[in-house]
Structure 1
Amino acid sequence: MAPPTPPTPSVSAPIMDLETFSSTSTTRLQALYSDFSRQKASNPTSYQANVEWWRKALETIVSSGFQDEHGSIYGKKQGSGKSRLVLHANATLLDQVKIPRVGKPLALGAVLSELHASHSFYPLAEFTSLKSSIYSTHSLPIRIASYVVGKPLWWALEQMGIVGEEGILGSSTRDHHKGTAWHGDYVIITLAAKAAETIQEMQRDIVAGPSDSLYSFESFRKTFGVSLDTSGAPLSELDAKVLLKFLERDRGVLVYDNDVVKFVDEDAPAEDRIITPVDRGILELKSAVQNMHTLVNSLQEKIDQCTRQASEALQKERKPLALSYIRSRKTLQEVLSKRLGSLATLESTLVTVETAAGDVEIMKSYESSTATLKSILSHPSLQRENVDKTMEALAEANADAREIDDAVRVGADVALGVEDNVDESEIEAEWAEMVKQLGKEKEEEEGQAEREKLGAAELRTPQELPQDGRKTPEKVSVLST
């Protein structure tokens, strides 16, 4: 039987529009909003359950855009739009999640410290400054303390404030969540990983040529804005930078340098993980083509607008105004014709450059294949003398195998009493004689059956009577008997 659904709290607050909060009872919310940080030692199970609830709640707050829609000023300061990957933890967040008759979360600092310690949330500055992947092994001091010093002693030192969860010189969670020490921006790794996976899938469907793997920072924002379900809006500057760092350092699927983004294979060698002058040239051509398309579309819209305005002026019998619109349309059409010519030239040049770049990659493959083939052919085993020796040895081995097989077969025949040197022609003659004899026996059997059949038919046929109707003597004798 399914557990009963918790009653919906009878409170009114913007945060209650989120399912994570609306599906939680008032009593449970009061426990979650209390200072439960002391339960870490006394009741670790309840403590971890509360931290896990807040992890999901904070992910929902960020991924839904709630923090920017209800008073966050971070996006306005940066002018970068709403962030769907970074939590802005500060006094404003406490006001956003405040619930009447429940209050503000008193243990939010402790929760963020725990999520940081478990590497679910990363402070933004730390995330962007890390050189190695966040999935790599953590620092050596922590590993030494975990395996040499031991967990019990480590826990005791942490309670005394000598060591912390972040390292030997770090501050403990108990101190970190006090005051405003926990304020800051936190990258939520699960959300970043989900968006990165979507971007990788989109890129796999896009790639058709060298230019499809190259983006400027702005085109990256526009192309992959849908990865965060932002209703067609580009990625915020902050989210774009977070994703570029995550995809480059932690997924290894792109390189980013000076406003140039280049997607590469995950197992690409180091020499392919650089942005070359050729890449920059291709990207410039690609950007020029995209800008020219935008300009052409703008000119066409202006031409359509002049046409509509001229038609409206003509209906209102405003001939001078209509002529003015027609004149403007003609000028725009001339400009459009020139821009279309430029666009055709740029697109042709881009195709030529992409083809040449593709030829370079093909030649690299040919060179690599040639070197591989030469390396294989230079192996001592493939030298002519070794090949001849090997084939002769193989022929001798096959001959020996045939001799052994014949010897085994003859030995088996002797063991079974089968005579040697059987003449196959005699066997064939005996077979033919058997077939001939079988044919004769079959003919005799068929003749005998036919004779028996005729004899039975004579017994059943009545004798012919004379013309006067009297029976023959033979027949009368038979009847008398």
Structure 2
Amino acid sequence: MSSFQLSSLPTYSTASSSRLQSLYADISRQKHSNPTSYQSNVSWWRTTLEEIVSKGWQQHTTDKLVLHADQSLPESLRYEGTGKPLCLGTVIAELASTRALIPLTQFLSTAQSVYDPGWLPYRIASYVIGKPLWWALQQLSIVESDEGGHEGDAERWKRVKGDYVVLDLVERAAEHVLAKQRSQAASLADTLYNFDAFRTEFADSALPDVVLSDVDLRVLVKYLERDKRVIVSEKEVIKFVESNLSEPSEITAVDHGVLELKTAVAGLQSQVDNITSKIESCTEKASAALRQKHKDLALSYVRSRKQLQDLLRQRLGSLENLQSTLMSVEAAANDIQIMSTYKSSTTTLRTLLAHPSLQRETVEQTLDALASASADAREVDDAIRVGGELAIADAGLEMGDDELEAELAALVAEGEAEQREKQDAERVRRIQEERDREPRREDVAIPGRQAVMEAI
């Protein structure tokens, strides 16, 4: 891993030289003297290590979900101006204690979910009862002791070296796999894989721009089965299931049969593609031989093509029969599921109909009571309405249609009169403004009289 590769990571490109020097230094003593800075540094290293693993930049391995913590890791992280990190032992121990990193062998062998609050595969329950967690981890050599700041990096590496599953990367890969599976699952055969088919389908789509190794895929299968509960597996059979099922699913004889048929169909399809490619190649070679006047060679290619075409017809016939059989088996399996659903629905409906509230006598009584209550409500409403009308009549407030129309006409006339008054006031205002803008007659006449008197 080169400094150029490291500098392309966001964690490096956004960090100053002084910041990188502090990150590469031994941070073990900060855990107690400066916990805030310690956690910040550990978080930076967690992001960096996840990026390095997911991009496949580890040396001597093709794994993308597993961190291989050995003596070569610090050397591979050597960076210009800072040297190699002196804190990785501390960082890995801290990440292991928080389950960001999980020892590979324990991840694959433990039946308990990693999300269980009590899940610590490296903790022996009888050994740590009544003991502080950190002390227990120290005794199990998972983290360094409180005096770890006094021991060298080599000693700390002895405690933590090994292979670790990077949980965050596994979670991301699982989400991508499930999204792809949901988009294409349409039949029973689409939910069944052997390990080779699982690799072919998901190895290059679980994480961007990389291909997962077999170790990664086995980690992923374990996570999907134990922690997400979306698959069940048995030896080499992998089956996707609904995660909200009330009863745990299992691999059935039907599943084995469907998977065998699916595998056979895939194998025949591969043969058909290969034969088709060979036929095309023979055709091209025969044409080239004819152009070069090599008639015998061209006939040989034509003869080979004829044999391949005969073989192709046989394989296509077998493929058609297998595909038809597979569809029939899937249809029968779906019919079983449909009938099972019908049976369950019938049982549920009968249970509901058996409820005392839905018995015929109870229903009739309830409906009769409802009709009676509705009639009482109508009577009360009618009584209130009639009483209100009588009260209005007694008070002399009841008005005929002619009186209502006369009152409406009066309101209209009143509105029109107010509108005329507003218009008249507006005209008077405009006339007054025009008069104010004209010169006054006295100002024009005075100079005329003065001239006459002077003339006299």
Asked if TM exceeds 0.5, the reply is: yes
Kept in 2, the 8 Å contact 1:313–1:322? The answer is yes
In structure 2, how many angstroms separate the alpha carbons of the residues matched to 1:290 and 1:279?
Answer: 16
1:391-430 to structure 2, matched below 5 A, reads 391-418=367-394
Identity %: 45
Give the corresponding residue for 2:109.
129
Counterpart amino acid of 2:236? Answer: D
Give the corresponding residue for 1:242.
219
Q: 1:413 to 1:55 in 2, by over 3 A?
A: same
Higher relative contact order, structure no. (Cα contacts within 8 Å, ≥ 6 residues apart): 2
Give the corresponding residue for 1:366.
342
Give the corresponding residue for 1:335.
311
Counterpart amino acid of 2:197? Answer: S
Give the corresponding residue for 1:38.
29
Give the corresponding residue for 1:173.
143
Give the corresponding residue for 2:136.
164
Counterpart amino acid of 2:311? Answer: V
Residue 404 of structure 1 and its aligned partner are, at CA, apart by 2.7
Kept in 1, the 8 Å contact 2:287–2:298? The answer is yes
Larger-Rg structure: 1
Residue 23 of structure 1 and its aligned partner are, at CA, apart by 4.2
Give the corresponding residue for 1:223.
201
Give the corresponding residue for 1:251.
228
Find the residue that maps to 1:52 and give its secondary structure.
helix
State the Cα deviation string for residues 190-235 of structure 1 (Å, max 9, x = none).
11111111111111110111111111111111111233446574x3
TM-score normalised by the chain length of structure 1: 0.74
Query: Is 1:21 equivalent to 2:1 in the alignment?
Result: no
Counterpart amino acid of 1:248? Answer: E
1:205-354 to structure 2, matched below 5 A, reads 205-229=183-207, 231=209, 233=211, 235-271=212-248, 273-354=249-330
Q: Residue 74 of structure 2: which of 75, 94, 102 is its match?
A: 94
Residue 344 of structure 1 and its aligned partner are, at CA, apart by 0.8
Residue 408 of structure 1 and its aligned partner are, at CA, apart by 3.1
Find the residue that maps to 1:294 and give its secondary structure.
helix
Q: 1:231 to 1:340 in 2, by over 3 A?
A: farther
Number of residue equivalences: 388
1:140-155 to structure 2, matched below 5 A, reads 154=132
State the Cα deviation string for residues 253-281 of structure 1 (Å, max 9, x = none).
1112111111111102224x111111111
Find the residue that maps to 1:87 and give its secondary structure.
strand
In structure 2, how many angstroms separate the alpha carbons of the residues matched to 1:405 and 1:108?
Answer: 83
Residue 305 of structure 1 and its aligned partner are, at CA, apart by 1.3
TM-score normalised by the chain length of structure 2: 0.78
Kept in 2, the 8 Å contact 1:13–1:100? The answer is no
Query: Is 1:382 equivalent to 2:373 in the alignment?
Result: no
Query: Is 1:55 equivalent to 2:46 in the alignment?
Result: yes
Give the corresponding residue for 1:452.
none
Stretch deviating more after TM superposition (280-289 or 384-393): 384-393
1:175-214 to structure 2, matched below 5 A, reads 175=145, 178-214=156-192
Residue 18 of structure 1 and its aligned partner are, at CA, apart by 3.9
Residue 104 of structure 1 and its aligned partner are, at CA, apart by 2.2
Q: 1:413 to 1:230 in 2, by over 3 A?
A: closer
Aligned-residue RMSD, C-alpha: 3.0
Stretch deviating more after TM superposition (214-223 or 12-21): 12-21
Query: Is 1:112 equivalent to 2:102 in the alignment?
Result: no
Find the residue that maps to 1:174 and give its secondary structure.
coil
Kept in 1, the 8 Å contact 2:112–2:226? The answer is yes
Counterpart amino acid of 1:261? Answer: I
